[in-house]
């Protein structure tokens, strides 16, 4: 390795997932793998299964898979839907589009409500479509809580209300992969049937675990419904989970980390965790506006608190900016996905994060904008600093 390959200090991993893994989680995972059928494991399994219920805010059941979030998407679909069923999805961005493609591959028919990729789900559009569906053809409504490609959040409680207002019996499935443990989420109170999530974003773990939180209705309907499946079957999981076990070898060391992360979230307090994310998102948007750049999300009530997607002026390449920042300041930022490629960059401000990490991140962006020759006003960092110092006393741990 030449001296130019070595970077001193911490790399800044400011993509919207995977996020920075805190030392406490790394240390918790740094233990020998134990017998997953022994008594010590059962205790760990229960801690994780029960602990995740408090994060999803549910009293029903949480399934934990050794898989990326995409696996948990598939599990949600195959446990409840049949080939030929119709689902209603909303094209909020790249991730909603991937989920729609998966459903199509599984033989599920999809109706895809379009958006301009600059806002969350419009609950009224869902209500209007469901009202037209007099024969109850639509079996499920599948939406993404926080669209990671655009930085737009959808109001799931209002989507539920829209479904109730239309008096429609569809199941509700929600992807919270980039919102869980960053933005308030209430599986039971919002009447969600399946919530999907992953380990590597707000939960502050490495990639490798994903989750389904279930409703009683989902548990019951999966007993007789769904597509042929084996690995993803919820019933096998539920049976094994009763004693804290799993039907096959679990990702034991990731579960050590998960138990620690759940403890950390409760030590801080979930409401404080959400307020911290809101405050860092607001500081970031103020910096972007002061630079004279545009936040991609155009609907203030839909602003994401876990990431901000920033639109560059026409004719400037966001990937050149990202490469410049990586080369000079050892910071990774999120790229523009599919139709947003080269047009936006994304600042992740979720997970294990604090005020000075945010200022380091924004400083890297401001210096990068200058180095890459992107037209902007100076002063974004100063604006963010003012906001952070003015609101510092609002932090409960100050």
Ligand X SMILES: *Cc1c(COP(=O)(O)O)cnc(C)c1O
- Minimal CB distance to ligand X: which residue? 69
Dihedral sign from CA coordinates of 298, 300, 306, 308: positive
Cβ atoms of 140 and 168 within 8 Å: the answer is no
Tell which residue, 382, 387, 364, has the closest CA to residue 11: 364
Q: Which is nearer to ligand X, 108 or 290 (CB)?
A: 108
Number of residues that bind ligand X (CB under 6 A): 12
Q: Which is nearer to ligand X, 150 or 361 (CB)?
A: 150
The pattern of x and - marking residues 141 through 160 that bind ligand X according to CB under 6 A reads ---x---x------------
Provide the minimum distance between the beta carbon of 73 and ligand X in the complex, in angstroms, as a whole number.
7
Q: Is 336 in the site for ligand X (CB under 6 A)?
A: no
Q: Which is nearer to ligand X, 179 or 241 (CB)?
A: 179
The CA-atom distances, in angstroms, between 49 and each of 42, 71, 155, 264, 398 are 10, 18, 26, 16, 32
Q: Which is nearer to ligand X, 174 or 310 (CB)?
A: 174
Q: Which is nearer to ligand X, 73 or 291 (CB)?
A: 73
Q: Which is nearer to ligand X, 144 or 262 (CB)?
A: 144
Q: Is 175 in the site for ligand X (CB under 6 A)?
A: yes
Neighbours of 334 (CB within 10 A): 23
Dihedral sign from CA coordinates of 92, 93, 95, 97: positive
Cβ atoms of 200 and 352 within 8 Å: the answer is no
Provide the angle, in degrees to the nearest 10, between the axes of the packed helices 94-105 and 69-80. Answer: 50
Q: Is 198 in the site for ligand X (CB under 6 A)?
A: yes
Q: Is 178 in the site for ligand X (CB under 6 A)?
A: yes
Angle (nearest 5°) at CA 67 between 32 and 309: 115
Q: Which stretch binds ligand X (CB under 6 A): 162-170, 173-181, 233-241, 282-290?
A: 173-181
Q: Which stretch binds ligand X (CB under 6 A): 174-182, 316-324, 346-354, 384-392?
A: 174-182
Q: Which stretch binds ligand X (CB under 6 A): 55-63, 171-179, 238-246, 261-269?
A: 171-179
Provide the angle, in degrees to the nearest 10, between the axes of the packed helices 380-390 and 355-371. Answer: 170
Provide the minimum distance between the beta carbon of 346 and ligand X in the complex, in angstroms, as a whole number.
11
- The residue within the footprint of ligand X, chosen from 12, 56, 65, 95 (CB under 6 A), is 95
Provide the minimum distance between the beta carbon of 290 and ligand X in the complex, in angstroms, as a whole number.
27
Q: Which is nearer to ligand X, 202 or 360 (CB)?
A: 202
Provide the minimum distance between the beta carbon of 193 and ligand X in the complex, in angstroms, as a whole number.
18
Distance CA 285, CA 101 (A): 32
Q: Is 17 in the site for ligand X (CB under 6 A)?
A: yes
Provide the minimum distance between the beta carbon of 291 and ligand X in the complex, in angstroms, as a whole number.
25
Q: Which is nearer to ligand X, 199 or 237 (CB)?
A: 199
Distance CA 100, CA 115 (A): 14
Enumerate residues 58-77 that contact ligand X by CB under 6 A.
Answer: 68-70
Q: Which residues form the interface with ligand X (CB under 6 A)?
A: 17, 68-70, 95, 144, 148, 175, 177-178, 198, 207
């Amino acid at each position: 390795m030449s001296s130019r390959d070595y970077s001193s200090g911490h790399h800044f991993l400011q993509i919207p997932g995977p996020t920075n893994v805190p030392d406490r989680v790394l240390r918790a995972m740094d233990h020998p793998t134990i017998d997953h059928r022994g008594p010590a494991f059962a205790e760990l399994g229960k801690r994780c299964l029960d602990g995740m219920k408090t994060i999803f805010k549910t009293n029903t059941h949480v399934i934990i898979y050794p898989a990326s979030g995409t696996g948990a998407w598939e599990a949600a679909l195959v446990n409840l839907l049949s080939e030929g069923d119709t689902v209603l999805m909303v094209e909020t961005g790249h991730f909603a589009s991937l989920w729609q493609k998966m459903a199509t591959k599984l033989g599920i028919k999809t109706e895809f409500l379009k958006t301009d990729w600059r806002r969350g789900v419009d609950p009224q559009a869902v209500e209007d479509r469901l009202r037209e569906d007099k024969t109850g053809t639509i079996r499920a409504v599948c939406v993404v809580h926080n669209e990671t490609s655009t930085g737009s959040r959808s109001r799931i409680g209002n989507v539920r209300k829209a479904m109730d207002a239309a008096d429609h019996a569809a199941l509700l499935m929600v992807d919270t992969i980039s919102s869980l443990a960053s933005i308030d989420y209430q599986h039971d109170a919002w009447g969600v049937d399946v919530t999907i999530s992953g380990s590597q974003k707000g939960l502050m773990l490495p990639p490798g675990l994903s989750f389904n939180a279930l409703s009683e209705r989902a548990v019951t309907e999966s007993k007789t419904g769904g597509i042929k499946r084996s690995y993803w079957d919820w019933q096998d999981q539920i049976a094994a989970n009763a004693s804290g076990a799993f039907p096959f070898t679990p990702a034991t060391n990731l579960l050590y980390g998960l138990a620690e992360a759940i403890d950390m979230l409760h030590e801080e307090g979930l409401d404080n965790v959400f307020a911290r994310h809101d405050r860092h998102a607001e500081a970031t948007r103020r910096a972007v506006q002061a630079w004279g750049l545009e936040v991609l999300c155009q609907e203030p009530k839909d602003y994401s608190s876990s990431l901000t997607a920033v639109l560059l002026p026409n004719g400037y390449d966001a990937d050149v900016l990202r490469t410049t920042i990586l080369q000079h300041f050892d910071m990774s930022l999120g790229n523009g996905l599919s139709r947003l490629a080269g047009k936006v960059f994304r600042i992740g401000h979720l997970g294990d994060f604090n005020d000075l990490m945010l200022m380091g991140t924004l400083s890297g962006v401001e210096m990068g904008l200058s180095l890459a020759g992107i037209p902007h006003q100076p002063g974004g960092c100063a604006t963010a600093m003012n906001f952070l110092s003015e609101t510092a006393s609002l932090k409960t741990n100050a």
